[in-house]
Structure formats: C-alpha cells, structure tokens
Amino acid sequence: MPLITAVCDVVYYGFDQDNPNAYWSAPNKLYEAIAAGKALLASDVGEIGQTIKDERCGLLLTTATAETIGQALKALASREELGAMAQRAQALQTRFSAQQAAETLRQAYASWAAEGRTA
C-alpha cells in the first residue's frame, strides 16, 4: 500500500455516511495521505471530513457516487490546486505523527494522575 500511495495523486476514502462508525474513528487513509503528502478525496464524515474542512487538504463528497467522485476528480485535475492541497497535507505531518500522539497520551495520563484518576 505505501507504494500505491506514493505514486498516486489523490488518496480516496469512501465510507457509508450512515454508518455510525464513520463518526467515531479516523481512518488509516487519513494518516497515509498525510504521511505521503497527498491530497484527500473523502466522504464528509468524522475526523477525516473535519480535517479536510479545517486544513483544506482535499475535497469532500456530499455522497460517494460515481457522479460525485467523477466531478471531484475533474476538480482535482488542476495541478496547481492539487499541489496546494498536497502541501497542506504534508504540513500536517508534525501534528499527526507518532511522536505527537505519544506526547498527547502522556499529557492525558499526567492530567488524570494529577486528578487522582486511573485509566
């Protein structure tokens, strides 16, 4: 999968927006795209949708149909816009790194310990 992600221009993640799981987890595709510095094309759900909205690192689909995917791919045909989205995805590498995740977890545990809570 890393090779395919490395040679593609856009990472696609389609998920059934009616599935509750889509809202409670960030898919691996989000992190793969960030690690490779690639633009994202995804359904507007959960953390992946929020990240794309906030960071402008891809395009969101209102529904994942052949028509909407085709329209989005046409919009991504602009090398300038695609490159800008990819740069914004790449800029997220420090925020979405294993090192940053470990620090966030360490801080959460330290906060809980200070309150006398256990995990």
Please check whether residue 110 lies inside any domain of the structure: no
| Number of compact structural domains in the chain | 1
Query: What range defines the domain where residue 42 resides?
Result: 2-93
pTM beyond 0.95, yes or no:
no
Please check whether residue 67 lies inside any domain of the structure: yes
Q: What confidence tens digit (pLDDT) does each residue in 46-99 have? A: 889 999 999 999 999 988 899 999 999 999 999 999 999 999 999 999 888 888
State the Cα–Cα distance between residues 8 and 14, nearest whole angstrom. Answer: 16
Please check whether residue 56 lies inside any domain of the structure: yes
Please check whether residue 105 lies inside any domain of the structure: no
Which CATH number fits the domain that encloses residue 23?
Answer: 3.40.50.2000
3-state helix, strand, coil in the chain (%, to 5): 60, 10, 30
Please check whether residue 119 lies inside any domain of the structure: no
